[in-house]
Amino acid sequence: MAKVKIQKKDIWIDMTPMSDVMTLLLCFFMLTSTFLTPEPIKVNAPNSVSEVKVPEGDVLNILVSPEGKIFLGTENKNYMKAMMETMTDAFSLSLNPTQQKHFLEDAMVGAPMEKLAAYLSLEPEKMAEVIQTLGIPTDSINGKMSEFQMWVKAARDVNPDIKIAIKADSKTSYKAVKHMMSELQDMNENRYQLITNLKTASED
């Protein structure tokens, strides 16, 4: 009897091209993705059916915490630097290089000018805790612009086309938002983007 020889087939699949493509895709996503910048406080935006995305380009983010504390910042570090210089000049404050570095590492400004230097001298771990108790004051200074308005004006001076995006917690009282918006309206800033999460119209 002749031996039946079963031919053994090599089931090895060459994965190299696949891993090539994968690496390319991975690189693409890693480079194009924009990560969420850490915010000083956790804010849950309300839901809406609006499908409009946050505009591309320069946006001045204003964050309102549930307690009504206000933080502000933009992703462009050059703008932040220019804003810092405008503000420190206006308050005749001088920051040392470490403090400036800490300022630029922070995603948002949230300290009153009188406490800014002390806040920026803290350790980065401590800063994240302390900023939650601070917030930009909106009280007008001797009947003139408030610190909040001065920050917005500084941002507007750096880039006249900057857009204002307001992100407030859904539990923030309207009073706080109204106060903040009327400060902006006083400066003739009447167009805002309200940041929301998507929901469908059928949900209630």
Partner 1 sequence: MAKKNLSKQKKMDTRVNFTPMVDMMMLLITFFMLCTTLAKPQAMQLTMPSNDDNVQKEDKSVTKASHTITLYLGADDKVWYIAGLPNYEDPSCVKPTTYGSQGIRKVLTEHTTEEGVNPVAKIMMAKKELDAQKTAYNSKMTDAQYQEALSKLKKGELPNGEKVPTMTVIIRPLDTATYDNMVAALDEMLICSIDKYVIDKINDDDRELITKAGVK
Residues of the shown chain interacting with partner 1 in the complex, contacts defined by CB under 8 A: 12, 15-16, 18-19, 22-23, 25-26, 29-30, 32-36, 45-55, 64, 165, 167-178, 181-182, 184-186, 188, 190-198, 201-202, 204
Question: Least distance (Å) from partner 1 to the CB of residue 17?
Answer: 10
Question: Least distance (Å) from partner 1 to the CB of residue 11?
Answer: 12
Q: Which is nearer to partner 1, 6 or 201 (CB)?
A: 201
Closest to 180 measured CA to CA, from 64, 43, 66, 42: 64
DSSP 74-120: ES-HHHHHHHHHHHHHHTT----HHHHHHHHHSSSB-S-HHHHHHHH
Beta bridge partners, 71, equal: 63
Q: How many CB atoms neighbour CB 67 within 10 A?
A: 14
Question: Least distance (Å) from partner 1 to the CB of residue 149?
Answer: 12
Q: Which is nearer to partner 1, 115 or 199 (CB)?
A: 199
Q: Which is nearer to partner 1, 5 or 53 (CB)?
A: 53
Q: Is residue 163 classed as helix, strand or coil in its secondary structure? A: strand
